[in-house]
């Protein structure tokens, strides 16, 4: 390699690390409830310059869209049965993650709505449903989850609960009651 020249793989890896640092900083800011965070503050928290920030995300809407997409991807990737879990346990844990995501993404979605000229936020529901369907099917086949519910119906209940005003302490017993209700009644695997 010629002196003074940087290899392309090194630049790509560095660019990916910078993108990840920027998204992590933005995610932390939103987790703190800081909706008024500026692009300069995101760059400062990520430890990158403004040029690097804008090279990765030309504006706030692009940063918010990428943050939203990464969050959805992470939740979808979690739709697996871990060692030692039954399919029903794995599904309940994953649905709880869905609820936590839906509850916490309100700030990101409200920001996206404010910055999106088309007036809408790209829906990732189909992606989440596709990720969760095998998990639900496994749990239903194991007779650990009611067989008369679709994942769409379960998501609708989760979304409805996430819209209830109140603190996490207020919402936790409500979502837990809904999750408990997914299990079949004793002696009845269809609950229907």
Among 35-39, 112-116, 127-131, 188-192, which is the least confidently predicted range?
188-192
Instruction: Dihedral sign for Cα 117, 120, 121, 122, please.
Output: negative
In this prediction, residue 191 has a pLDDT band, given cuts at 50, 70 and 90, of: very low
Q: What is the pLDDT averaged over residues 95-112?
A: 75
Q: What is the pLDDT averaged over residues 124-131?
A: 87
Question: Domains, the chain, ranges and CATH?
Answer: 1-58 (1.10.10), 61-192 (1.10.357.10)
Q: What is the pLDDT averaged over residues 144-159?
A: 94
In this prediction, residue 109 has a pLDDT band, given cuts at 50, 70 and 90, of: low
Integer Cα distance of 113 and 78 in angstroms? 27
Q: Hey, what are 48's tokens?
A: 């990158």
What's the pLDDT tens digit per position in 16-62? Answer: 899 999 999 988 887 776 557 789 999 999 999 999 999 999 988 88
Range from 51-55, 66-70, 128-132, 137-141 that averages highest in pLDDT: 137-141
For the range 163-170, what are the long-range contacts, defined as Cβ-Cβ under 8 Å and sequence gap of 24 or more? 168/103
Question: What's the whole-model pTM score?
Answer: 0.73
Judge whether 118 and 172 are in contact, CB under 8 Å: no
| % of the chain beyond a pLDDT of 70 | 79
- Exposure b/e, 96-134, CB count within 10 A at least 16 = b: eebbbbbbbbebbeebbeeeeeeeebeebeeebbebbee
Of residues 139 and 106, more confidence is placed in 139
Of residues 44 and 6, more confidence is placed in 44
Integer Cα distance of 71 and 87 in angstroms? 23
Range from 105-109, 113-117, 163-167 that averages highest in pLDDT: 163-167
């Amino acid at each position: 390699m010629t002196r003074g020249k940087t290899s392309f793989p090194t630049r790509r890896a560095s660019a990916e690390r910078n993108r990840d640092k920027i998204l992590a900083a933005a995610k932390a800011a939103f987790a703190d409830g800081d909706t008024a965070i500026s692009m300069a503050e995101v760059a400062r928290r990520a430890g990158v310059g403004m040029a690097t920030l804008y090279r990765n995300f030309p504006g706030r809407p692009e940063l918010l869209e990428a943050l939203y997409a990464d969050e959805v991807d992470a939740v979808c990737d979690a739709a697996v049965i871990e060692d030692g879990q039954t399919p029903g346990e794995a599904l309940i844990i994953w649905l709880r993650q869905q609820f936590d995501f839906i509850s916490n993404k309100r700030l990101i979605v409200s920001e996206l709505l404010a910055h999106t000229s088309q007036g809408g936020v790209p829906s990732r529901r189909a992606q989440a449903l596709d990720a969760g369907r095998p998990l639900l099917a496994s749990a239903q086949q194991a007779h650990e989850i009611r067989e008369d519910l679709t994942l769409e119906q379960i998501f609708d209940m989760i979304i409805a609960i996430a819209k209830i005003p109140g603190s996490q302490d207020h919402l936790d017993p409500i979502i837990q009651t809904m999750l408990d209700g997914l299990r079949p009644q004793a002696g009845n695997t269809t609950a229907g």
